[in-house]
Amino acid sequence: MDANRTLAQIREEGRTVLTEIESKELIAEAGLPVVATMPAATKEEAVRLSGAIGFPVVMKILSPDIVHKSDSGGVRLNLENSGKVEEAFDEIMGNLRRHHPDARIHGVSVQKMALPGQEVIIGMSKDLQFGPLFMFGLGGVMVELFKDVSFRIAPVSPRDAREMVREIRAFPLLTGFRGAPGVDIPFLEGLLVQVSNLVESNPQIKELDLNPVMAYKDSALIVDARVILEGCS
């Protein structure tokens, strides 16, 4: 994938919100570890892809008009067989017809269910005065519940990344708390620097949200991604 060409095409379509597939392709092109995700336009295609990827899988609505997929009933986790995939597809489409009848629906995305890990978030939003502002913290619903995050202005250096990871109150969870396994902290620090480099190379990115990132003892994997571009001038 050519990132610049893809972003230019999205601009030509008059869009600023990338789909999940487009967001993941963009960050994969930058060398970041992201779970492979495939689009399925129909229920039959979703079943076929699920079998090829291997159960259990995750299914999510694929639409340029819907940012918060979970809030709209557009996400189903841990689908263990073809029957569950069929049921989930019908449920997701039914939810979207009720909540977003005018949304453009491209189908669903299908991805392998990631192994359990420590969920963290890496995000970026542009401040009018300071420019790109990067965030790190616990991921999933924890970021909304505890708001335990740290911030740095771009560019994020290796020293910045090291400090960001250690500044959150929940840092002991990353090192291994009460016998729980720790995660690869240098790997997370490297991800922060890579994300900063991605934004620096693509200044048209206005917001970026990698949540959750599953952190493991020897790696990390980006499970979901959202990218928003600057508005067209």
Q: Which residues contact 168 (CB under 8 A, 6 or more apart)?
A: 136, 137, 138, 148, 149, 150
Q: Where along the chain do its domains lie?
A: 36-113, 118-229
221 pairs with which residues across the strands? Answer: 214
109 pairs with which residues across the strands? Answer: 39, 60
* Mean pLDDT score across all residues of the chain: 92
Q: Which two tokens stand for residue 83?
A: 């029957």
Distance CA 173, CA 111 (A): 27
Q: In this structure, is the dihedral angle defined by the CA atoms of residues 57, 228, 232 and 7, taken in order, positive or negative?
A: negative
Residues 41, 230: contact at Cβ < 8 Å? no
Task: For domain 36-113, give the CATH superfamily.
Answer: ATP-grasp fold, A domain (3.30.1490.20)
For 118-229, CATH number out of 3.30.390.10, 3.30.470.20, 3.40.50.300, 3.40.50.740 equals 3.30.470.20
Q: Model's pTM, two decimal places? A: 0.91
Across the range 130-139, mean pLDDT stands at 94
Q: What is the pLDDT of residue 68?
A: 79
pLDDT above 70 (res 2):
no
Distance CA 230, CA 81 (A): 40
Distance CA 31, CA 100 (A): 34
Q: What is the pLDDT of residue 233?
A: 44
Q: pLDDT digits over 40-60, tens only?
A: 999 999 999 999 999 999 999
Distance CA 63, CA 81 (A): 24
> b/e map of 86-117 (b: 16 or more CB within 10 Å)?
bebbeebbeebeeebeebebbbbbbbbbbeeb
Give the closest residue to 232 by CA, choosing from 209, 208, 206, 210: 206
